[in-house]
Amino acid sequence: MRDNVVRLAFSGDAERFDKFCRIVQQAVPEANAGVLRGSAITGRRWKDNAPFDSDGPGSSDLDLTLVGSDVLRYYTLGGYWIPGIHSRPLSDDDPDIAPELVPLRQKLVAMVGRPVNIQGTCDWVQSLRGDLMGQPYLILFGHVGEA
């Protein structure tokens, strides 16, 4: 999965991918883990099975999820699918739901030249989605499942 992400989202530049991971971990040290999900992992968009970047270079986004209950403090009350457990993604569609994460998002978008959406979730939700529901994810740092 790592090789797929580096090839698709980072133009084959493993050093830039590693820098991306370090930036996220340093910006949100309380996260138990950072993971990437979505078409950067699978190579295909779930909605219509279109290939990654099928609408042109930089058109596919990166779906970054910060894992751990401590990261959920970044999201406003209106920024949740399930309050205090699983947030909506900080994105162009919802730019005000996690004000403290906006500078990180801007830095990552500038670095990768594509949208980066940042979601927060509890460990058990990430485990449920990934391990039980079979939604693939790549751990960028840390461990999913830690309390």
Q: Which of 92, 38, 82, 78 is nearest to 60 (CA)?
A: 38
Could you list the pLDDT tens digit for every one of the 147 residues in the chain?
A: 999 999 999 999 999 999 999 999 999 999 999 999 999 999 888 788 899 989 889 989 999 999 999 999 999 999 989 988 899 999 999 999 999 999 999 999 999 999 999 999 998 778 778 776 768 899 999 998 754
Would you kindly state where each structural domain of the chain is located, as residue ranges?
Answer: 2-142
Residue 52 CB-half CA count within 13 A: 21
Entry pTM: 0.92
Q: Which residues contact 29 (CB under 8 A, 6 or more apart)?
A: none
